[in-house]
Chains A and B, each alone.
Chain A
Amino acid sequence: MRLMRVSAIAKKEGIQIIRDPYSLAMAFLMPVMLLFIFGYAITLDVDNLPTVVYDRDKSSTSRGLVAQFRESRYFTVVAYAEDHADIDRYIDRGRAKVAISIPEDFSKNMATGRDATIQVAVDGSDSNTATIALGYIAAISDLYSQRTCKALAAPAIDPRVRVWYNPELRSRNFIMPGLIAVVMAIIAALLSSLTISREWERGTMEQLISTPVKPHELIIGKLSAYFVIGFVDVLVAALIGIHLFDVPLKGSPLLLMMCSSLFLFGGLSLGIFISAAAKSQLLASQVSLITSYLPALLLSGFMFSISNMPAPLQLISHIVPARYFVAMLKSIYLKGGTLKLLIFETAALAVFGILTFMIANKKFRKRID
């Protein structure tokens, strides 16, 4: 391996990248856009659920109960229904997610100390929101009964629930660290997956073959050019997350950069492998999005925790490198994870990187002959 030839290839790639400012801009725009979407537009926190109230009692007691729901930030009363069919209409059209129906004898029962019952219907099509909403409803009505009925004895067991690492349960703290993995996966796929198939399609590969450049020198040269862009993206993502979105970084920034480089190396090698194998840009782009972006988004534990998935899928997730990277990121950010704690994940990423690099190298060599 000659360093000079590697750097010549890297320089050529660099010039090609700079000559296409449109693609370069997108390479930097993409992570920023994703960060802003996840930071500002999207929240997994359930609040302001549109609620329709059907109050048949129309008493101060029933209004008090509705007020209790209103005051919590979880429910927003969007309408008062006139009859049962109204409720159906609101939920069917998706204009309300929650319906609260208060029977006529509600205030009478509350006044005479009998059990009062209210009916609640939740749109279950989004089961996650529904489960959380049901939890809130139970908590609010418990609170209401405790307030209105002081005689109520305390429950026999007092559950003291504490949350570690992310005590306010901000979904942003959970999303942002993992997002770096998704951004890396996308960037690696977008940048490197077309790089070799493009040379084939345009016919410039023959020119490269006729030069004394060896296959692995070509791959390393291309890799290092894209590595620089990817690394800048990691920095941008980490800085925006920490400074703009106040995601605490408890662990070491150095460790963060180290494991990001490791993941980036593997991701870029995978892209180059796909590119070398596909030869056509159309095929390469389809394959690389299927193998990098979607698994990183859905199978990495970034948003959907792996332990909730069925067993075969949990097994499959072990071959998704983003899985290890997401686990590392979350640990470094929120738990202050150290290299000692994360040694298994680091090793997994290193193995993935070296393996894909070797396969890419082999695939490419076979192609040239």
Chain B
Amino acid sequence: MFERIKRMMIKEFHQIFRDKRMRPVLFLTPILQLIIFGYAITTDVNCVSLAVYDLDRSYESRELARRFEASGYFEVLRHIERAEEVRDLLDRGKVLSVLQIDRGFSSDIKKGSQAAVQVLFDGTDSNTALVAMSYANAIIARYAKGLGAPHMRPPAAKLDVLARAWYNPALRSRDYNVPGVIAIMIMLICLLLTSMAVVREREIGTMEQLMVTPLKPAEMILGKTIPFALIGFFDMFLVTIVGVFWFSIPIQGSLLLLVLCTAIYLLSVLGIGLFISTVSKTQQQAMMGTFLFFAPAILLSGLMFPIENMPAAVQYGTYLNPLRYFLIIIRGIFLKGNGIGILWPQMLALFALGAAVMTISVLRFKKRLG
């Protein structure tokens, strides 16, 4: 039996790597993609482009504009001279925000009456606008607090908030996202390989040849999936190294646990790939089927959008998504240093899901063979 599985695996490896261009696709692109997307998925808002429309032209107005620039969150790209430029710059998307300081700003401050400034935001990107707004409010409030003689200064706010962010004190989104990108990279490669490679035999007609060999269906499935599992493991290893050394994401938890969890994750990914292959007749269908699963799986996993913000019905649906569990696990291991003690429910759920999907696919696969 092992001999037959081994033969099948060797054949499978030959088939994958016979096409020399497949090697870089399998081993180089995941690394490149991790590097690119590790930087791309950033929700950190910094360098919001700002144009300053200073009608007051006083020391105070220049100081306020300087504070915006010095905060590191805004980048002054333009100084506006005419009122029409405000709309033009925002329309063209040249800047995302405009700080408008009207005439009388400095005299209001000197008189001790309340001065006003206007900040305009391009709300097209609602999230960036929201974060940039809170920065702008904080900068203005801080400037206002430090203004003028002590008798004019408003008393300190009665309620102080001491806020801390856990796990990721600098609030870097990269630490949070890179482990997630690792998870989707592995899923995409393994899913597509498994679903298409099985259908390919059927499409080209070599499936009949395999069926007349003494290979049993179980051996055939093992021989088909183990090579992809190995490729998945190897890719996981590669991208983890890139994550740790290139992005300096610390692995707080145990490496062994990561390997174990990757194995459980691959079980369900390969199971789904195999399932797709049993419902597709052509490689085109397999590719579409893969995508029909992959696209919602990424979006409804909590990778980019927190699950608790989704409607209740969808939240229940995400329990069927292996990526959901693996994201919690991989982030837990990388960022929080979680151990089995905390992660066991996810691991158990992932395993149950993987075992169920695998069983269904194997049964379907056998039926189609018989």
**Residues of chain A having any CB pair with chain B under 8 Å:** 20, 22-23, 26-27, 29-30, 33-34, 37-38, 40-50, 65, 91-94, 97, 110, 113, 115-132, 134-135, 137-139, 141-142, 144-145, 148-149, 151-167, 169-171, 173-174, 186, 190, 194, 198, 201-202, 278, 280-283, 285-287, 289-290, 293-294, 298-299, 303-305, 307-310, 313, 316, 327, 330-331, 334-335, 337, 341
Given A117-B160, A141-B159, A158:B115 Cβ within 8 A: yes
Tell whether, in the assembled complex, residue B47 and residue A124 are in contact, meaning their CB atoms are under 8 Å apart. Answer: no
Tell whether, in the assembled complex, residue B176 and residue A125 are in contact, meaning their CB atoms are under 8 Å apart. Answer: yes
Assign chain B's interface to a size class: 35 or more
In Å, the complex CA distance between A118 and B162 comes to: 6
Q: Tell which of B31-39, B219-227, B262-270 binds the partner.
A: B31-39
Tell whether, in the assembled complex, residue B131 and residue A135 are in contact, meaning their CB atoms are under 8 Å apart. Answer: yes
Q: Which of B141, B173, B203, B306 contacts A155 (CB 8 A)?
A: B141
Tell whether, in the assembled complex, residue B114 and residue A285 are in contact, meaning their CB atoms are under 8 Å apart. Answer: no
B129 to chain A, nearest CB (A): 6
Tell whether, in the assembled complex, residue A123 and residue B292 are in contact, meaning their CB atoms are under 8 Å apart. Answer: no
Write out the residue numbers on chain A whose beta carbons fall within 8 Å of the beta carbon of B25: 283, 286-287, 290
Is B90 engaged at the interface, CB distance under 8 Å to the other chain? yes
Tell whether, in the assembled complex, residue B305 and residue A43 are in contact, meaning their CB atoms are under 8 Å apart. Answer: yes
Given A145-B159, A159-B117, A30:B291 Cβ within 8 A: yes
Q: Write 11 A-B pairs (CB below 8 A) sorted by A numbering.
A: A120-B161, A134-B165, A153-B154, A157-B141, A157-B143, A159-B140, A162-B118, A162-B119, A165-B123, A169-B129, A308-B44
In Å, the complex CA distance between A202 and B199 comes to: 13
Tell whether, in the assembled complex, residue B171 and residue A131 are in contact, meaning their CB atoms are under 8 Å apart. Answer: yes
Q: Which of B42, B160, B168, B172 contacts A309 (CB 8 A)?
A: B42
Tell whether, in the assembled complex, residue B166 and residue A122 are in contact, meaning their CB atoms are under 8 Å apart. Answer: yes
Nearest residue in A to B60 (C-beta to C-beta)?
A157
Tell whether, in the assembled complex, residue A281 and residue B283 are in contact, meaning their CB atoms are under 8 Å apart. Answer: yes
A62 to chain B, nearest CB (A): 12
Tell whether, in the assembled complex, residue A115 and residue B128 are in contact, meaning their CB atoms are under 8 Å apart. Answer: no
Write out the residue numbers on chain B whose beta carbons fall within 8 Å of the beta carbon of A174: 123-127
Given A169-B123, A289-B192, A145:B158 Cβ within 8 A: yes
In Å, the complex CA distance between A190 and B25 comes to: 18
Q: Which of A29, A132, A330 contacts B124 (CB 8 A)?
A: A330
Is B308 engaged at the interface, CB distance under 8 Å to the other chain? yes
Tell whether, in the assembled complex, residue A280 and residue B19 are in contact, meaning their CB atoms are under 8 Å apart. Answer: yes
A66 to chain B, nearest CB (A): 13
In Å, the complex CA distance between A110 and B160 comes to: 11
Tell whether, in the assembled complex, residue B166 and residue A286 are in contact, meaning their CB atoms are under 8 Å apart. Answer: no
A61 to chain B, nearest CB (A): 11
Which residues of B from 128 to 161 have beta carbons under 8 Å from A?
128-131, 133-134, 136-138, 140-141, 143-145, 147-148, 152-161
Tell whether, in the assembled complex, residue B292 and residue A26 are in contact, meaning their CB atoms are under 8 Å apart. Answer: yes
Write out the residue numbers on chain A whose beta carbons fall within 8 Å of the beta carbon of B29: 286, 290
Is B121 engaged at the interface, CB distance under 8 Å to the other chain? yes
Ranked nearest first, the 8 interchain pairs of A and B with the lowest CB-CB distance are A124-B165, A166-B123, A135-B134, A128-B43, A124-B168, A163-B123, A127-B171, A157-B144
Residue interface bits B217-260, CB-to-A below 8 A is 1, else 0: 00000000000000000000000000000000000000000000
Tell whether, in the assembled complex, residue A124 and residue B137 are in contact, meaning their CB atoms are under 8 Å apart. Answer: no
Tell whether, in the assembled complex, residue A41 and residue B300 are in contact, meaning their CB atoms are under 8 Å apart. Answer: yes
Is B309 engaged at the interface, CB distance under 8 Å to the other chain? yes
In Å, the complex CA distance between A316 and B37 comes to: 12
In Å, the complex CA distance between A23 and B280 comes to: 10
Q: Which of B144, B155, B314 contacts A41 (CB 8 A)?
A: B314
Tell whether, in the assembled complex, residue A285 and residue B287 are in contact, meaning their CB atoms are under 8 Å apart. Answer: yes
In Å, the complex CA distance between A171 and B115 comes to: 32
Given A20-B285, A40-B311, A128:B127 Cβ within 8 A: yes
In Å, the complex CA distance between A123 and B193 comes to: 37
Residue interface bits B286-323, CB-to-A below 8 A is 1, else 0: 01110110011001100011101111001000000000
Is B164 engaged at the interface, CB distance under 8 Å to the other chain? yes
A284 to chain B, nearest CB (A): 9
B188 to chain A, nearest CB (A): 7
Which residues of B from 20 to 34 have beta carbons under 8 Å from A?
21-22, 25-26, 29, 33
Q: Which of A22, A45, A167, A337 contacts B123 (CB 8 A)?
A: A167
Q: Which of B37, B148, B157 contacts A298 (CB 8 A)?
A: B37
Given A115-B156, A157-B140, A34:B295 Cβ within 8 A: yes
Given A157-B117, A310-B39, A115:B158 Cβ within 8 A: yes
Q: Tell which of B1-9, B51-59, B91-99, B354-362 binds the partner.
A: B91-99
Write out the residue numbers on chain B whose beta carbons fall within 8 Å of the beta carbon of A298: 36-37, 40-41
Write out the residue numbers on chain B whose beta carbons fall within 8 Å of the beta carbon of A34: 295, 299
Write out the residue numbers on chain B whose beta carbons fall within 8 Å of the beta carbon of A331: 91, 93
B257 to chain A, nearest CB (A): 16
Write out the residue numbers on chain B whose beta carbons fall within 8 Å of the beta carbon of A132: 127, 130-131, 134
In Å, the complex CA distance between A304 and B174 comes to: 12
Is B120 engaged at the interface, CB distance under 8 Å to the other chain? yes
Tell whether, in the assembled complex, residue A166 and residue B126 are in contact, meaning their CB atoms are under 8 Å apart. Answer: yes
In Å, the complex CA distance between A93 and B153 comes to: 44
Tell whether, in the assembled complex, residue B47 and residue A307 are in contact, meaning their CB atoms are under 8 Å apart. Answer: yes
Tell whether, in the assembled complex, residue B169 and residue A124 are in contact, meaning their CB atoms are under 8 Å apart. Answer: yes
Q: Which of A37, A43, A138, A294 contacts B37 (CB 8 A)?
A: A294
Q: Which of B124, B148, B342 contacts A92 (CB 8 A)?
A: B342
Most buried by A among B93, B140, B158, B193: B158
Nearest residue in A to B109 (C-beta to C-beta)?
A156
Write out the residue numbers on chain A whose beta carbons fall within 8 Å of the beta carbon of B140: 157, 159
Tell whether, in the assembled complex, residue A341 and residue B91 are in contact, meaning their CB atoms are under 8 Å apart. Answer: yes
Write out the residue numbers on chain A whose beta carbons fall within 8 Å of the beta carbon of B283: 194, 198, 201, 281-282, 285
Nearest residue in A to B154 (C-beta to C-beta)?
A153
In Å, the complex CA distance between A128 and B173 comes to: 7
Most buried by B among A194, A287, A307: A307
